[in-house]
A = this chain, B = another copy of it.
Amino acid sequence: MGVVATSIEAYPAEPVPRSEPEDALTALVRLVAADLHACNRTIVARMDSPVALIPQLAAHIVAAGGKRLRPLLTLAASRLCGYDSANGTRHVDLAACVEFIHTATLLHDDVVDESALRRGLASANAIFGNAASVLVGDFLFARAFQLMVADGSLKVLGILSHAAATIAEGEVLQLATQNDLTTDENRYLDVIKGKTAALFDAACRVGAVISDRPAAEEDALATYGMALGMAFQLVDDALDYAADQAKLGKTVGDDFREGKVTLPVLVAFHAGDAEEQAFWRRTIEDSEQTDADLERALALMERHDAIAATIARAALFAQDAKRALSVFPASDIRQALMDVADFTVRRGR
């Protein structure tokens, strides 16, 4: 039994309340609805360019929807920190920056993964080609920095340029761990910290910075964002082996086919017997897969509770996220952010 399975067994499953009057994400959106609409308008206005293909492709991925989770975090963090939205739109502008950075990475991810679907629709690279996706991603990334320069805070520029570099490092590390079952849990956690949690962290921290809050509150929000991002990506990685395609908006088994070494795979691999480990080596390390292999992979994960273990790990991060917010006085926005942490885990159950 390897180190990963052992450490997974140590995670207590957190009891999560199963009923709620309202989806927690919907509740958070409702609290900052006006700001989120303003942010959407900024996104549409600032992704424009005289080069027609840019707004066309950007609209496909930006305007077509998605949860807007990351800009939502910037807006909610600003609200929690008492940002004076009557006298400024920095929270809205920077939320748009965060979404541009995220969208740029999505466009590049789809090229990297050769994905055919994104949010349940044909991916931009499938429609417009890899070349356009790479270049429009570059444009949105540059545009994000132009928006930050217009905002004028070197501190914010530092936070988001650091996040952008960390995202790229996480993505490259993910590439290096692909098809490699010697990857351990810590390395996997480093990958998701970089590729996902770093931007959640930055998105929240920016809200505190523009509200001129003390370092303790800034750090608390960054901790919340980091832990929420970890929980979010763990659940995403679990859903890749669990959700039906329509619900997830992407093909089930994508990670399996790409040989991505995520926590569900690591748990099942380390808990498996010699024959099972040979199966994982063939399918993940050697990329030799037949049509029946995904079903076998799902069955092995079921046998070793690999999905449940992954969700349990996510639940621990959600607890960390909620705990971080205790430095703020109770309020509807604080409660909504805490509920989002629980909701992030619950969508995996």
Contact = CB atoms under 8 A, between A and B. Distances in A.
Most chain B CB neighbours (cut-off 10 Å) among A130, A131, A167: A131
A162 interface: yes
Nearest to A146: B161
A158 B146 contact: yes
A38 interface: no
Contacts of A169: 49-51, 54, 139
B53 A136 contact: no
A195 to B, nearest CB: 10
Interface stretch (A27-35, A171-179, A301-309): A171-179
Interface residues of A, number: 43
Q: Top 5 closest A-B pairs, CB basis?
A: A139-B168, A142-B164, A142-B165, A145-B161, A112-B131
Given A165-B146, A176-B53, A138 B139 contact: no
A172 B108 contact: no
Most chain B CB neighbours (cut-off 10 Å) among A108, A145, A171: A145
A51 B138 contact: no
A54 B54 CA distance: 28
A145 B145 CA distance: 8
Copies in the complex: 2
A175 B142 CA distance: 18
Interface stretch (A149-157, A232-240, A265-273, A283-291): A149-157
A105 to B, nearest CB: 8
Given A135-B112, A149-B157, A51 B142 contact: no
Given A157-B145, A157-B149, A136 B168 contact: yes
A112 B139 CA distance: 14
Interface in A49-72: 49-54
Contacts of A176: 51-53
A38 B169 CA distance: 26
Interface in A40-56: 49-54
A141 interface: yes
Contacts of A145: 145, 157, 161, 164
Nearest to A107: B134
A138 B135 contact: no
B141 A138 contact: yes
